[in-house]
């Protein structure tokens, strides 16, 4: 059983579908692992999960086994493989809290499209993972239910907002997970935990049933320990959804074929662009050294390395922290104590109940961003702040277009530093925001990006970010798989709860 948790999703699927092992055995092995290492918010351990759905997971796995037993073809290439789901996607049979007290215990009346696609594919959902409240944060310390710990060093953060999904992978609690990426919340945790995280093209994965943070930026995506596993999951969850008005009506890029092709280690004829504005001042020396090593490896694989300039990227952080809070202030107005979620009955008026509920239910980071956004959208300031930020967004998109005219993919370090100690930046919002310096431009432009492990710096994982044009995920996966073929996987030290 112990060996099962160390296998990739592709390897597990092969064993399950050939009936060498049962899906129930695989699910139980991962549930046992969660019990052994996850711990709780108040004790030692990883604390990647907010809800573990043991009974439902085993039932789902047994249905896969029963189907295979009568000779039915697997529902998908990942049928029977366990997965950890970020607690921001609605699930009819599990609580969905978005890491917030204001939704504590809420059970949605419907499944998100992504959840439904996972179920239809026969994927075993183990439970819901911890996250920064409403996906606002870079460390998972802003969760209302306690911080998640990085399996590489339990005193350090796993990144955020999807730290639970990334930590579950690194701790071998699940071979696959789902995250969301609004400004780096898939890629930054992947870099901090030595895993693979993919932010698809905006509109490439349905947002129906994804509790909104910033609607023009949010994007769900696959997380895994290998590039091929991420590609297999990408093809399961991707594709057009008529329930999502922003969903792209186009085929899912052929990412699995691209990952398999890339694993051959040949990048001849591909141009890899190094973004001049990413990787200078403020980047940890070990991170920069790891990135330089990755460039040498890509060159050895046959890629041509070219330098490109994206001059407006330096304004991305400022623009993002006007656009995102503005959308947050609008989206979170729905949590008003009138229909669902927390309700604090104080005062005789509806306004008093709303105010008391939002005061009790929202954490400090959420309140900070609501206030910032409300100010940016207020009369007399809209054009000066929100309007100007949207103009910067357009300039960043143009930078990407110009850069992709010179290169097939762009690369940079995923994050300026390695994982930092828990508590180190939680009281310094600007320092926390700077973690997303390299990832934010991709969200503003709506293009694709991913992080793959590129080694260690001071004993902690470092990520290589690979960026591609909209719907250009195939070439991105090809480059990632080729690079992955040049190094050994990063394996976190054994953790104990």
Q: Could you give the residue numbers annotated as active site? A: 86, 161, 185
Q: Which residues lie below 8 Å from residue 177, measured CB to CB, with a gap of 6+?
A: 83, 84, 85, 86, 129, 162, 165, 166, 168, 169, 223, 224
CA atoms within 13 A on the CB side of 194: 20
- Cα separation, 418 vs 319, in Å, equals 24
- Cα separation, 144 vs 356, in Å, equals 17
- Cα separation, 257 vs 232, in Å, equals 10
- Cα separation, 316 vs 269, in Å, equals 31
Q: Which residues lie below 8 Å from residue 467, measured CB to CB, with a gap of 6+?
A: 400, 409, 410, 411, 412, 442, 447, 448, 449, 476
- CA 266, 271, 275 angle in degrees (round to 5)? 125
Q: Contact 160/138 with Cβ under 8 angstroms?
A: yes
For residue 92, what are its two tokens? 């009819």
- Cα separation, 331 vs 334, in Å, equals 6
SS3 content of the chain, % helix, strand, coil (to 5): 40, 15, 45
Phi first, then psi, for residue 73 (nearest 5°) are: -65, 150
Peptide bond into 161 cis (omega under 30): yes
Q: Contact 167/149 with Cβ under 8 angstroms?
A: yes
Q: Contact 176/224 with Cβ under 8 angstroms?
A: yes
CB-neighbour burial class of residue 268 (10 A; exposed 0-12, middle 13-18, buried 19+): exposed
CA atoms within 13 A on the CB side of 83: 35
For residue 182, what are its two tokens? 């609004």
Buried/exposed code over 95-125 (b: 16+ C-beta within 10 A; e: otherwise): bbbbbbbbbeebebeebbbbbbbbbebbbbb
């Amino acid at each position: 059983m112990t060996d099962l948790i160390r296998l990739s999703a592709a390897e597990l699927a092969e064993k399950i579908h050939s009936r060498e092992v049962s899906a129930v055995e695989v699910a139980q092995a991962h549930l046992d692992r969660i019990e052994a290492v996850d711990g709780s918010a108040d004790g030692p351990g990883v604390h990647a999960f907010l809800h573990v759905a043991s009974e439902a997971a085993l039932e789902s796995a047994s249905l896969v086994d029963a189907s295979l037993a009568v000779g039915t073809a697997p529902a998908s290439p990942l049928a029977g493989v366990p997965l950890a789901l970020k607690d921001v996607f609605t699930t009819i049979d599990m609580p969905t809290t978005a890491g917030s007290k204001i939704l504590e215990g809420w059970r949605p009346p419907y499944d998100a499209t992504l959840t439904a696609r996972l179920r239809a594919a026969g994927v075993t959902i183990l439970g819901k993972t911890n996250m920064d409240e409403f996906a606002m944060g870079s460390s998972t310390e802003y969760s209302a239910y306690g911080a998640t710990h990085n399996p590489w060093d339990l005193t350090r953060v796993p990144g955020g907002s999807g730290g639970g999904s990334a930590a579950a992978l690194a701790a071998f609690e699940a071979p696959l997970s789902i995250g969301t990426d609004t400004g780096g919340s898939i890629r930054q945790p992947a870099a901090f935990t030595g895993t693979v995280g993919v932010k698809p093209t905006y509109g490439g994965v349905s947002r129906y049933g994804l509790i909104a943070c910033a609607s023009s930026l949010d994007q769900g995506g696959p997380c895994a320990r290998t590039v091929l596993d991420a590609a297999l999951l990408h093809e399961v969850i991707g594709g057009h959804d008529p329930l999502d008005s922003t969903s792209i009506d186009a085929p899912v890029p052929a990412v699995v074929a691209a990952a398999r092709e890339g694993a051959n280690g040949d990048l001849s004829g591909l141009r890899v662009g190094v973004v001049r504005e990413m990787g200078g001042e403020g980047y940890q020396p070990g991170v920069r050294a790891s990135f330089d090593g990755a460039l040498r490896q890509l060159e050895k694989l046959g890629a041509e390395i070219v330098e490109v300039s994206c001059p407006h990227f330096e304004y991305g952080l400022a623009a993002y922290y006007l656009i995102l809070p503005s959308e947050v202030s609008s989206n979170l107005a729905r949590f008003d104590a009138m229909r669902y979620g927390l309700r604090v009955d104080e005062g005789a008026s509806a306004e008093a109940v709303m105010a008391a509920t939002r005061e009790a239910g929202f954490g400090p980071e959420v309140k900070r961003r609501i206030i910032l956004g409300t100010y940016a959208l207020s009369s007399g300031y809209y054009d000066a702040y929100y309007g100007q930020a949207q103009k910067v967004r357009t300039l960043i998109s143009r930078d990407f277009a110009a850069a992709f005219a010179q290169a097939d993919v762009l690369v940079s370090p995923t994050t300026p530093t390695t994982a930092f100690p828990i508590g180190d930046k939680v009281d310094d919002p600007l320092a926390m925001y700077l973690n997303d310096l390299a990832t934010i431009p991709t969200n503003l432009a709506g293009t694709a990006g991913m992080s793959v492990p590129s080694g260690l710096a001071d004993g902690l994982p470092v990520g290589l970010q690979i960026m591609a044009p909209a719907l250009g995920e195939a070439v991105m996966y090809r480059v990632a798989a080729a690079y992955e073929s040049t190094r050994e996987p990063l394996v976190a030290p054994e953790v104990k709860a």
